[in-house]
Structure 1
Amino acid sequence: MASKPEEITLSALLTAAAEQSPNQKAIIVSGKIELLHSDLQKIVNTCAAQLRNSGIAPGDVVALSFPNSIEMVILFLAVIRARGVAAPLNAAYTAEEFEFYLQDSRSKLLLLPSTGNAAAEAAAVNLKLPTAGTRFCTSLDGNRALEFLPKSVGLKIPSNAVSESINLENKEDDVALFLHTSGTTSRPKGVPLTQLNLAASTQHIRDTYELSPADTTVITLPLFHVHGLVAALLSSLVSGATVVLTAAGRFSASTFWNDMKSYGATWYTAVPTIHQILLERHSAKPEEFYPKLRFIRSCSASLAPVILEHLESAFGAPVLEAYAMTEASHQMTSNPLPHRGQRKPGSVGKPTGLEVGILDESGVPQTQGTSGEVCIRGLNITKGYQNNPEANKTAFQFGWFHTGDIGYLDEEGYLFLIGRIKELINRGGEKISPLEVDAVLLSHPAVAQAVAFGVPDEKYGEEINAAVVPQENMTVTEDDIITHCKKNLAVFKIPKKVYLTDSLPKTASGKIQRRLMAEHFGAAVRARMGG
């Protein structure tokens, strides 16, 4: 009789990587801490046993609210190792926001840094939720561990748990991660992701970029967001590679390249906003030299071709744009490494380990070059939103998961995105992609950041407006921008109004919030129209 195939779990991949590369550095906190893969696994297993012995049962949700820190990494891995569900939360939330997310995720425990978090603790008190402070420490004999502080509220965590004394066998269908989608059009939706979802996604990312123990990356994004957590951290760890956390626990343009050079980084991944910040710093205060990188990855928002060109020119590395979403445990498509195929500016690349289809409103697959809704299916995709049957009915139709994006596949299978279904601008029947307008705005040499959006219009139903942030120490006028657009866009795609501003609203991960701009300026237009 054939033996049952081994379950594919994220925990198993992490264990295998640690066994294969035990003496390779896993986590570095810049200038402070270095942990080998073998050390990290030992600490994680001990911490997982402590959580289980404290009463955390399989399926229990544990909320984590930390900066990018060694505590965050250890606790995330320990929670899922203990068959719990990790729910990372932005430490900058208000008490009301914490209360919503803790309640919606059905958290059984809140873990915080030793310094605490007043807003999170206030929410926990209201919800009667057990809370524990934590810190990473080194004893006099050199033993390193994660310590649960005595002031833990409503919880008793044993300090001498032995991981081998309990069953820590993970299952493919164990929910391991609970995140929320951004709530720009409705209340945030809860997305449960399983061990299998995360295992599949991290393997896809590892294979796409050929990540190995020879690689090192500096994390630019918060670990409460799927991009930083899955693409940078977890994909590196399952590859036996090294991850560097900044000393400040967040991205800093002033220290980024020093960390990249000091620790021999070979790649990094970021959102376009961070790439643009690094380009601005390069223009104002370039480094004496830049590290030789295998590649630079861009994801989570559209990267204008002109920004891609500037990145490659400035930093001397190929830029690979990818396409991802929380519901797919991050990555869905990516441009390939140079030796594996062509990089197409404006495209988010080819499918990576899953199937991509372009469907019309009736679920009929579209031919190459014909646009429709981008739909996906594969092992990395969530089985459904938590307690949201209406959202699941809409998202899971015709045997596919519907992304809400409009795009098309070219003759070589590369995906080109046109925009979100709800963000396409309908100007008198002409459907206009705001991404196309963004790209033209960003190609103006005096523009640092830009976003196009639709506002109500009495004649056309919708009209195009835009907001731009000028390059530092450069002057540009609305007329300059519109003249530039007239040279590069069809007449009906030219913004009617361009706003000059110092900043654009962004999510915690740095993604520009187009819909907030549309709502803000659309409300002003409706008021003028008497609506």
Structure 2
Amino acid sequence: METSTLTGLLKHVAGNFPSRRAISVSGKFDLTHSRLHHLVERAASSLFAAGVRPGDVVALTFPNTVELVIMFLAVIRVRATAAPLNAAYTAEEFEFYLSDSESKMLLIPKEGNEAAQAAAAKLSIPAVTATLSGAESDIALFPAHPESDSDAVSELVNDPSDVSLFLHTSGTTSRPKGVPLTQFNLASSVNNIKSVYKLTESDSTVIVLPLFHVHGLIAGMLSSIGAGGSVTLPAAGRFSASTFWSDMKTSKATWYTAVPTIHQIILDRHLSKPEPFYPKLRFIRSCSAALAPSILARLEEAFEAPVLEAYAMTEATHLMASNPLPEDGPHVPGSVGRPVGQEMAILDENGVAQESGAHGEVCIRGPNVTKGYKNNPEANKSAFQFGWFHTGDLGYLDAHGYLHLVGRIKQLINRGGEKISPIEVDAVLISHPEVAQAVAFGVPDDKYGEEINCAIIPSEGSSINEEEVLRFCKKNLAAFKVPKKVFITDSLPKTATGKIQRRIVAEHFLAQISIAKLPKFGA
């Protein structure tokens, strides 16, 4: 029973590896697994004294700090639900997320968060600061409450069915949906990630992704600690390309996980300012958006480690499929690998499983999958059909059981009946040596119904133009997949985790086209 909850799994790890490093705060201090466990129990006791009870939702908004990790684990220890939020939200966004999650308390860093506090005050939600001043101190909450009886927390037994984490989908295609995840979901996902990457107490990583997102929280943080390994939190509380490799070397890192945008930043820095030497990594992991095969090849060449692309989503408590480590099979560029710890099928619209090579919707079921969205019967009806969770992604399984994604069902471009995956066009665009980032999208068209456009960010120092991009596309894509128009820009809207927001890009450039078509008056 102990390892069927995340809390039980981490208690087990603290007992097995008490003196091994769990968390390093870059340049400041380290916490061992037993010290982390002690701090979590003490913080849980303080939360209980402050009135937090099983079933309550507690929102947290911090940079990537040790306080966030401790308070997240303390919230779930008292059988409450943690709802981590992006510290960069506006007051209006905080108001939506705090009310949608029905939060009873907001935890913030000592420097505060004006927008979050304004939203909490409007909703009459108490805001409490959490501070850890050093490895030997206890975490302090303010306003402070009388010290509770720690026996009250020790008597609380975490159950696999406890809803421990509440996240929202990224909302790149629709309004964000609330996803409740249980202790059992979390423990299952952590064990899946540990098993496919063979994570042990000897592994170490540097956290580069925000911990309010499932990728950074589950794959980077909790799977490492759950294996008895260690994580390093950057001193600034967020990813910095200039300190990344020094943190990796200091912590003797064996791997890291990131989104393609961050891999690209790390690669660009390597080309302009290479390190004297790089730590020997077991593997590099990429997830949360499609990684162009050309970028994968450049990463492997630069850092001499296999790059394993994976497939994940919030509703699956992150991991669904991954390319294996070299000793367990080939990693296939352009594929997101084989299913890990769950069943996966490619279904047609009638729920019939497709043969290998045939396209359909990627569907999953397993112990890591949410039981359903919060207060959203309509979304649940369409997402849970035929006994499977429907991801909304189109793909196919090859003869070796590797999954290849074709695109989002809602994002396929229908050009005169030809269905085109924007992901495929993205991959060709990004393979051009002078294109740093790219996104393809559909626009309304009188003749074909929909036509393809794209936007690119040129590499630094490049003077690439629309003609060159189109010439390159004509050489590398079927004629009907070649974009009709290329927008050259210096920025693209992204989610907090670096995923390009295709829908918003399309809206932005469509508006530009409309303005350009308006009749001009005057001189």
Give yes or no for TM over 0.5. Answer: yes
SS at match of 2:225: helix
Corresponding residue for 1:124? Answer: 120
Aligned residues of 1:203 and 1:235 also touching (Cα < 8 A): yes
How far 1:282 moved relative to its partner?
1.1
Matched, 1:360 2:353: no
- Opposite residue 484 of structure 1, the aligned amino acid is F
Q: Is the 8 A contact 1:456 1:525 kept in 2?
A: no
Shift of residue 163, structure 1, vs aligned partner: 4.9
Q: Which amino acid is the alignment partner of residue 361 of structure 2? A: E
* Deviation readout 1:179-234 (Å, 9 max, x if unpaired): 01122333211000000000000000000100011011000100000000000000
Contact 1:268 1:295 survives alignment (8 Å): yes
- Separation (CA, whole Å) in 2 of partners of 1:161 and 1:35: 25
1:406 alignment counterpart: 394
Cα distance change on mapping 1:294 and 1:462 into 2, 3 Å:
same
**1:349-388 matched pairs, under 5 angstroms:** 349-388=337-376
Evaluate the alpha carbon distance shift between residue 166 and residue 16 of structure 1 in structure 2; reply closer, same or farther with a 3 A threshold. Answer: closer
Contact 1:46 1:163 in 2 (8 A): no
Deviates more, 1:62-71 or 1:494-503: 494-503
Counting only pairs closer than 5 Å after superposition, residues 311-322 of structure 1 correspond to structure 2 as 311-322=299-310
Question: Residue type of the partner of 1:506?
Answer: K
416, 422, 443: which is aligned to 1:434? 422
1:272 to 260, 282, 305: 260
CA contact (8 A) 2:260 2:289 kept: yes
Give me the CA root mean square deviation. Answer: 1.4
State the match for 1:148 in structure 2: 141
SS of equivalent to 2:390: strand
* 1:287 and 2:275 correspond: yes
Corresponding residue for residue 21 of structure 1: 17
| Structure 2 match to 1:68 | 64
**Contact map agreement 2:44 2:75 (CA 8 A) in 1:** yes
Structure 1 position 297 matched with structure 2 position 293:
no
- Distance in 2 (CA, whole Å) between partners of 1:119 and 1:406 is 38
Matched to 1:502, the amino acid is D
Superposed displacement of residue 144, structure 1: 2.0
The structural deviation recorded for 1:474 is 2.2
Deviations along 1:482-526, one digit per CA (max 9) or x if unpaired, are 111111111001111111111111100111111111222234446
- Residue in structure 1 matching 2:34, options 21, 24, 38: 38
Instruction: Give the residue type in structure 1 aligned to 2:196.
Output: T
Aligned-pair CA distance for 1:7: 6.6
Q: Are the equivalent residues in 1 in contact too, given 2:45–2:148 (CA < 8 A)?
A: no
In the alignment, structure 1 residue 57 sits paired with structure 2 residue 53: yes
Q: How many residues get paired?
A: 518
| d(CA) in 1 for partners of 2:462, 2:138 | 51
- Partners in 2 of 1:125 and 1:507 — Cα distance? 26
Tell me if structure 1 keeps the 8 A contact 2:48–2:153: no
Look up the match of 2:521.
Answer: none
- 1:83-98 to 2 correspondence within 5 Å? 83-98=79-94
Tell me which moved more, 518-527 or 498-507.
518-527
Q: Secondary structure at the match of 2:493?
A: coil
Q: CA 1:24/1:284 → structure 2, altered by over 3 Å: closer, same or farther?
A: same
Q: How does 1:80-229 map to 2 (within 5 A)?
A: 80-138=76-134, 143-149=136-142, 152=143, 157-159=145-147, 161-163=149-151, 166-229=154-217
Query: Take 2:152 and 2:27, find their aligned partners in 1: how far apart are those partners?
Result: 33
Paired residues of 1:46 and 1:161 also in contact (CA < 8 A): no
Question: Which of the residues 207, 213, 218 maps onto 1:230?
Answer: 218
For the residues of structure 2 that align with 1:289 and 1:321, how far apart are their CA atoms?
A: 24
**Cα pair 2:2 2:9 within 8 Å, conserved:** no
Instruction: Give the superposition deviation at 1:105.
Output: 0.2
Asked whether the equivalents of residues 78 and 153 of structure 2 are also in contact (C-alpha less than 8 Å), the reply is: no
Q: Which amino acid aligns with 1:77?
A: L
C-alpha distance in 2, partners of 1:43/1:452?
47
For 1:12, the equivalent position in structure 2 comes to 8
How far residue 424 of structure 1 moved from its aligned partner, in angstroms, is 0.6
Gaps of 5+ in 1: none
Q: What one-letter code is carried by the residue in structure 2 that aligns with 1:131?
A: A
Structure 1, residues 244-284: CA drift from partner, whole Å, max 9, x if none? Answer: 00000000111101110111000000000000011111111
Letter in 2 for 1:281: R
CA shift, 1:130, in A, is 1.2
Of residues 46-55 and 93-102 in structure 1, the stretch that sits farther from structure 2 once superposed is 46-55
Residue 389 of structure 1, aligned match among 377, 393, 398: 377
Bigger drift between 497-506 and 67-76 goes to: 497-506
Matched residues, percent identical?
64
Evaluate the alpha carbon distance shift between residue 12 and residue 103 of structure 1 in structure 2; reply closer, same or farther with a 3 A threshold.
same
Q: Counterpart of 1:326?
A: 314
CA deviations 1:348-376 (Å, max 9, x no partner) are: 00000001110111111111000000000
